[in-house]
Amino acid sequence: MKFGLGHDWKEVKRFKKLDKKDRSIVFYLESESDFIFFKPVVEKLTQEYDTKICYVTSSKMDPMLSSNNKNILPFYIGDGMARSNFFINLKATIIVMTMPDLETFHIKRSKVYPVHYVYIFHSLNSTQRAYTNTAFDNFDTIFCTGNYQIIEIQEREKKSNLAKKKLVKHGYGKLDILINEVQSTNVRNNASNNKVVLIAPTWGPNGLIETKGQEIVHILLDSGFNVILRPHPMTIKKSNKVIQKIEKEFKDNLNFKLETDIRNTESFFLCDCMISDWSGVAIEYAFAFEKPIFYIDTPQKINNPECDQIDLVPLEEKLRSQIGEVISLSELSLIPSKINQFLQSQNKFKEKIQKSREETVFNIGNSGEEGAKYLLELKKSLES
């Protein structure tokens, strides 16, 4: 698809000309990589329930812009003034987003219509540290991944005297997709007999790649492991010099691979375990593949300086000892021996992960159905 000057404004105008019934349910994506979080719900709505949706994206690269699904109406609105105008003047029954901080920054609620705002999580993490204090305050409905998020949000509402939101027992679409892939895919063999370690941490000044990435890759390669380094997109954006330095040092080592496309899940199948820090992807990986996580104990990135107001242990802290092992920064040289120990008792470990998963996540394998049914019922009640 070609994008000429002012294309985003033309798309906003085209959206406004739609029949009211065709803009009942709108999905907004900041990036094409957001689609995985919506996919099970979108597929149920458009295929099983034959419901039209609007698919509004800020990414020119979004493959859904050329979708041939008759029930998906795609629009590209960019990330500038046209997008701001789109949101302020939005006339739709429901809009579904995975971008938090509605009303706090540049994305505002509609000033002209009583739009109902629905939030879908893009991580299994708890709400109080990984997000800003007001991240979810301005949504009407939140699709929660597990009961822990319901408790956290209700606690926030009570402490700050906020209006109660509709908190839906939804689940986590990305996890459902990964579990389905695991069940329907023959585990791919890696080219060598080496154990494969995937390094997939979060980002920021204290992130694992930014601080210890090079050292850990060295330790693993020297111990005979294959290493796949999968940086967070924000690490590539904000700390690209670090990535370039690591790539330059190890590019000639056949046992090293840099993976920059997070939509590619092949490395999840290839690896025997993951090394992470506080990343939500670690929980997804453990729950989908039932393989251990080795958490390097870097300082946690806290996006909410008022997080102590909610006196609850975040899931990403609570689960660390259940789905893996925490390794201090002073024990990095022990990583290879710890990995080998864990892999010898893998079956016992799988049972622990399965138990944690069942206790943590709603509607495993069925979040798409639950989400689609809820949105259709909500649409019906709002339009009546």
Digit-by-digit pLDDT tens for the chain (384 residues) are: 667 789 999 999 999 999 999 999 999 999 998 999 999 999 999 999 999 999 999 999 999 999 999 999 999 999 999 999 999 999 999 999 999 999 999 999 999 999 999 999 999 999 999 899 999 999 999 999 999 999 999 999 999 999 999 999 999 999 999 999 998 876 555 556 789 999 999 988 989 999 999 999 999 999 999 999 999 888 998 999 999 999 999 999 999 999 998 777 888 998 999 999 988 899 999 999 999 899 999 998 888 888 888 889 999 999 998 999 999 999 999 999 999 998 887 777 888 999 999 999 999 999 999 999 999 999 999 998
Q: In which order are the strands placed within the sheet that holds 116-120? A: 72-76, 53-57, 25-29, 94-97, 116-120, 141-144, 166-169
Query: Are residues 139 and 118 in contact, defined by beta-carbon separation less than 8 angstroms?
Result: yes
Tell me 198's DSSP state.
Answer: E
What are the CA-CA distances from residue 152 to residues 128, 288, 317 (Å)? 7, 24, 14
Burial (CB count within 10 angstroms: exposed 0-12, middle 13-18, buried 19+), residue 22? middle
Q: In which region does residue 328 sit, left (phi positive, over 0), alpha (psi from -120 to 50) or beta (all else)?
A: beta
* Residue 122 and residue 37 in contact, taking contact as beta carbons nearer than 8 Å: yes
| Gyration radius of the chain over CA positions | 22
